Structure 1
């Protein structure tokens, strides 16, 4: 995929609007923003003691309300968590499927896309598997009495951005924790799918890539042909340059920044933040969410 950037900083799509200035109608450049979040929520299927899902779900919802992202790529989410967020965040709708890991509907991970439906309207959406047969779910196997489907997925959608009228492609994923050939094959498949998009597409990719940004082969593969790391190109950065929290305050766990927001097309990345908000020492997940403020360009 050839890079689709308009300057050395980077682009992600914008618009010009007419505003009234001093009583006269004068054409002015009005920046239109898009708030993006990636957030590994930590599954509700495990017992994390005091950090288990029932003890942090209200804070997760409050964090999303306060931050107000237009679109969120969530990872490691099961149906119970989706239904809770759907109930308490009425301004959002969601897309995605269960990847079938634990042998029952809703028991396995989704990589859902939550979006503010007043601002974004899905035109088309789908999922593909990070496997040798991306358009076909992997075979279900019987492991220790449980039916399991081994395979990570990407959930994607093409949205109509209501304010600008532009189309925005959004992809969300969660790569295997094992760095190496499987991660590289997944990264290459994602890049291959990006290459099939029209050259002027506005593209956002979010995910837990389970590999450190800027130093790993996975990051180099994903960013080799057009996709750019929003953290690297942002005009302003806030928060630590690592995203694993282990439910605690910022400590460098030597795994680097594994939760990424990637962009391609005419956007400017004005700011990006690793969010370390907590509620009296209670953190929302074992990962910090990451938010980016993008602006569509002329």
Structure 2
């Protein structure tokens, strides 16, 4: 039987007050209540152990849920002959950097995937992100190469990330062609096309992610279809090589609407990836539907820019929880288009 022992003491004014002591059983106390105190101490220790174990469990649960943002944007290459309504890169660049900084500032785990970026645009974006007042020195880095020579010539499809958050464990650029290991144009493509690949390990949680960024051809239908097949095979190759990968994503400009070849190949039954757009109820989407707008305000746009996540199979759902999907504006009150595409943003938990 549990009993409450009451001991008398005096407060600072000399008044008596009662202090309860816990005693677990009759006959366990001695004259000075030492055993009652020991019982209380034992109970307190047990409680502390339980709290400690629970806190440890909470930490593990937190580490097991990795929230990060994936942003993809075709920023339009820095042409020397701007089309109607298009501003030169020197005018557009600050708006692009502002966008990327704003949408990644509060999530250090963010990945930023760009398309059509020439070497000077990549370095401008990198310098812009790293020069922000809140940014630490060399906070951002990127992996990517120019598609024309595997170095600095031609358009990049770079992946930007924070090295203090992610370790880049493996990287590769694959050409979307019949000769994927060398700079080359594939099938009926009008231009050389690539997919940029990175295996990233999250330092804090030891979670590994496979990231891919691509820009499919705007002219060749066969090229888009074969490129999609090649990319899907690369996903499987990397998942087999890196069994520690918990999830993967593919971002980019596919130049393919939902009804067209590349999108249909990427999302066919049994595919290893799924469109984040489809994983968020339409009523919860933010922004516009269309991702390609042109510069003149008259172009009939379409949704051709995507973030897809996986892996998934017929027997298992994707490991990602897609928490949000948005298409961001590419023009504001200043009437300057930052690009002829809008950025797509997906928030996911792995």
Query: What secondary structure does 1:27 align onto?
Result: helix
Name the one with the larger helix percent.
2
Per-residue deviation, 1:118: 2.2
CA distance in 2, matches of 1:108, 1:179: 19
Kindly indicate whether residue 151 of structure 2 is the aligned counterpart of residue 115 of structure 1: no
TM-score, normalised to structure 1's length? 0.80
Please list every run of 5 or more consecutive structure 2 residues that lacks an aligned counterpart in the other structure: 1-50, 131-138, 312-318
Relative to structure 1, the CA distance from residue 136 to residue 107 in structure 2 (aligned partners, 3 Å threshold; closer, same or farther) is closer
Kindly indicate whether residue 194 of structure 2 is the aligned counterpart of residue 153 of structure 1: yes
Relative to structure 1, the CA distance from residue 27 to residue 277 in structure 2 (aligned partners, 3 Å threshold; closer, same or farther) is farther
Q: Superposed, which structure 2 residues align to 1:238-253 within 5 Å? A: 238-247=286-295, 253=299
Please list every run of 5 or more consecutive structure 1 residues that lacks an aligned counterpart in the other structure: 1-20, 140-148
Query: What secondary structure does 2:55 align onto?
Result: strand
Between the two structures, name the one with larger relative contact order (CA 8 Å, sep ≥ 6): 1
TM-score, normalised to structure 2's length? 0.69
CA distance in 2, matches of 1:123, 1:107: 25
Name the one with the larger strand percent.
1
Larger Rg: 2
Determine the structure 1 residue equivalent to 2:177: 131
Query: What secondary structure does 2:57 align onto?
Result: strand
Per-residue deviation, 1:255: 4.4
CA contact (8 A) 1:160 1:166 kept: yes
Determine the structure 2 residue equivalent to 1:190: 231
CA distance in 2, matches of 1:233, 1:46: 40
Relative to structure 1, the CA distance from residue 150 to residue 254 in structure 2 (aligned partners, 3 Å threshold; closer, same or farther) is closer
Per-residue deviation, 1:87: 1.2
Q: How many residues align?
A: 263
The structure 1 residue matched to 2:57, chosen from 17, 20, 27, is 27
- CA deviations on 1:156-186 (whole Å, 9 max, x unpaired) are 1000112321110001110000252111011
CA distance in 1, matches of 2:169, 2:88: 36
Relative to structure 1, the CA distance from residue 211 to residue 72 in structure 2 (aligned partners, 3 Å threshold; closer, same or farther) is same
CA contact (8 A) 1:129 1:135 kept: yes
Q: 30-39 vs 240-249, which deviates more?
A: 240-249
Determine the structure 2 residue equivalent to 1:219: 263
Relative to structure 1, the CA distance from residue 288 to residue 248 in structure 2 (aligned partners, 3 Å threshold; closer, same or farther) is farther
CA distance in 2, matches of 1:155, 1:53: 23
The structure 2 residue matched to 1:267, chosen from 320, 334, 349, is 320
Per-residue deviation, 1:281: 2.3
